[in-house]
A and B are shown apart, each in its own frame.
Chain A
Amino acid sequence: MASIWLFGPNVDTDQIVPGRYAPYMTSEAELGKYPFIEARPEFRTQVRAGDVIVAGPNFGCGSSREYAPRALVAVGIAAIIAPSFARIFYRNALNLGLRLFVADLTLALSDREQAVLDLETPALIAHGETFALPKPPDWVRQTWAEGGIIGYYRRHGQLPLVESTAPTQENSR
């Protein structure tokens, strides 16, 4: 079972990892100690691998710091579900293989509720209800499967996406 960590709108990267806790200031090995260290201090002590963040719009706004999503990967966050993501955070998360789903479940779920994340369907199941999650494009799924963009690039010698002129899905940005 995953625990749901509920957040509001506009969670900025300074809340996720303040700049003074960057690996540059501390060390990469310590990164897992710092997610939400000031915004929500109980997070880093109570979070468990496989937990899911459910947040309001514009999650990850602000800085381009990849160590913000990297810190969430370090503690084992399985997915982040929000109605929208800030664009650099979206790219950084994708590049790290961190699953993001564009959906608004903030009113459907409560904080620290237990849930099951079904990455295949994909869906989130909580209090007997199944909440469908949007299916990402194939190239996003392939990137996830390789553990991120660098894993994909190393295996295939190219970027995962196919250049397109067709309308693209909302979360392929």
Chain B
Amino acid sequence: MPDTSHTAAPSADSTTRASVHRAPTLAERILSHAAGREVRAGDLVIVPVDRCMSHDSITPEVIDALQNDLGNAGPADPDLLVVVMDHVAPAATVATANAQARVRRWVAEQRIQRFYDVGCGVCHQVMLEEHLVQPGQIALGTDSHATSYGAIGAFGTGVGTRDMALALASGRTWLRVPETLRVNVRGGFHPGVSPKDLSLFLCGLLGLDGADYMAVEFHGLDWLDLDGRETLASMTTELGAKVGLIPPSGVVLERFAVPDWLLVDDAGAPHYARTLDVDLTALESQVSVPPEVDHVRPARDLGDIKVDQVFIGTCTNGRLTDLHAAAAILARQHLAPGVRMLVIPASHNVLQAAVADGTLATLLAAGATIGTPGCGPCIGRHLGVIGAGEVCLSTANRNFRGRMGDPEGLIYLASPETAAASALTGVITDPATLPNREV
């Protein structure tokens, strides 16, 4: 078990407003910049929105709200909005095909340039790959995992239909400045252990509402690649967080323009509602056991749980690093009898890169099959939903009952490494226990 000594227990009055004379947390820094005044946790702000993202599942509702309820044909500024077709991609039914056709017509009528059709990938991956959101910006998505944008130090957060419609009509939204839970990470991952294991460990430790309404701010990850940062930021949603922020460093400074005001001076002692220390060198592969994400146990303690389907993909773990990790374990090996394995790259770019560098050939040779870049079966609509009594080991982010198909199907969540190891053995397997392998 990693050491998780609490260096600062939640104060009895953690909702008391921190003094504006105190240095801001990263969330307070971004919202102060957006609001044009110094704000701290507990304040209410109305801020301009830099970017809105809406996907195929919710865009029809947003169009209805704009047109029927607000009397607007479309967004006040078409450049504010990014539309991505990923939740049922390609269309699986006549209803979804008709809804998508309506979205395409609306996007053309409204001259929305930033439209990413079926096959481009999962919305959050497209947003980050295409630099549609920038460090320090406020970005709303009609999807809870819009927290992903915290990977580059953007204030990304999920909203529903009416919040999106109002943001598109007015260019603004309201937010309560969140308290911050700080996670100090020490050390590095053992082979076979990866950011998803840290995310699942935190879910097990803190629970599904461990950061409800809060910002989660990670430190000690200057060395981490962008893919891993996206996994960590997006998974803070499963703690209930409003935003999951990693201060821009390393690869983010190389690839993105980071404004000076965002660069954090750590010396000012911001007020954190809670601080956790996690030693990665003590972290082993974690698995979330259905039906709740925070039912987390070390993979090696689970016993023999036979898997029917292994799914590698989604905004959580469908990136090139994830496919590389799976391919390294499955190279020159074959899936266990009776196991089917779906690989759904998070984007068209990821798919192309995995073709170019041979990763896909390795996975196909091992017996995996490939799906259209997008959300895949994560939300239980198409492309690999499971039946009653079936077990799916998934790299996605939720295992609620019925999430991925029949309510009697069971969804276990794990890293791509654990998913690949389990595909090889046919039972949920800690990759560190594979014989004679460099993982």
Residues of A within 8 A of B (CB): 10, 12, 14-15, 18-20, 22-28, 38-39, 57-58, 61-67, 69, 84, 86-88, 91-92, 95-96, 148-150, 153-154, 159, 161-168, 170, 172-173
Contact = CB atoms under 8 A, between A and B. Distances in A.
Contacts of A19: 57, 379-381, 403
B400 A15 contact: yes
B369 to A, nearest CB: 22
A24 to B, nearest CB: 5
Interface stretch (B207-215, B222-230, B249-257): B207-215
A87 B213 contact: yes
B220 interface: no
Contact of B381 (A20, A28, A65): A20
Interface string B12-36: 0001110010000000000000010
Given A63-B144, A84-B209, A24 B163 contact: no
B301 interface: no
Interface string B232-249: 000000001010000000
A172 to B, nearest CB: 7
Given A19-B403, A24-B88, A150-B165, A86 B209 contact: yes
Nearest to A168: B42
B60 A95 contact: no
A116 B57 CA distance: 37
B398 interface: yes
B65 interface: yes
Given A25-B381, A26-B95, A165-B43, A91 B165 contact: no
A23 B61 contact: yes
- Chain B: number of interface residues, binned into ranges: 35 or more
Contacts of B162: 66, 92, 95-96, 148-150
B44 interface: yes
Interface in B42-72: 42-46, 56-58, 60-61, 64-65, 69-71
Interface string B132-149: 000000000111101000
Given A92-B160, A162-B44, A166-B17, A62 B401 contact: no
B61 A66 contact: yes
Contact of A20 (B42, B60, B380): B380
A4 B151 CA distance: 42
B39 interface: yes
A73 B401 CA distance: 23
A87 B99 CA distance: 28
A25 B44 contact: no
B186 interface: no
Interface in B110-146: 141-144, 146
7 closest pairs, A vs B, by CB? A66-B160, A92-B160, A19-B379, A64-B158, A58-B209, A95-B162, A14-B400
Given A12-B400, A165-B17, 4 more contacts: A12-B398, A19-B379, A58-B208, A168-B43
Contacts of B45: 163
Interface in B70-116: 70-71, 87-88, 93, 95-96, 99
Contacts of B381: 19-20, 25
B402 A14 contact: yes
Secondary structure at the A interface, as helix, strand, loop or mixed, is: loop
A121 to B, nearest CB: 25
Interface of B: 15-17, 20, 35, 39-40, 42-46, 56-58, 60-61, 64-65, 69-71, 87-88, 93, 95-96, 99, 141-144, 146, 158-163, 165-166, 169-170, 172, 174, 176, 208-209, 212-213, 240, 242, 292, 379-381, 398, 400-403, 407
Given A65-B160, A167-B16, A14 B95 contact: no
Contacts of B144: 62-64, 88
Given A24-B87, A38-B407, A167 B15 contact: yes
A91 B159 contact: yes
Nearest to A69: B160
Contacts of A61: 208-209, 240
Contacts of A159: 46, 166, 170, 172, 174
A95 B163 contact: yes
Nearest to A157: B170
A95 B402 contact: no
A10 B209 CA distance: 8
Contacts of B88: 24-25
A24 B60 contact: yes
Contacts of A163: 35, 43-46
A24 B99 contact: yes
Given A39-B401, A64-B143, A58 B240 contact: yes
Contacts of B65: 150
Contacts of B172: 159
A118 B64 CA distance: 33
Contacts of B170: 153, 159
A20 to B, nearest CB: 5
6 contacts: A14-B398, A14-B403, A87-B242, A88-B158, A96-B162, A167-B16
**Interface-central residue, A15, A22, A153, A172, by most chain B CB under 10 Å:** A22
B80 to A, nearest CB: 17
B212 A87 contact: yes
A50 B403 CA distance: 29
Nearest to B406: A38
A10 B207 CA distance: 10
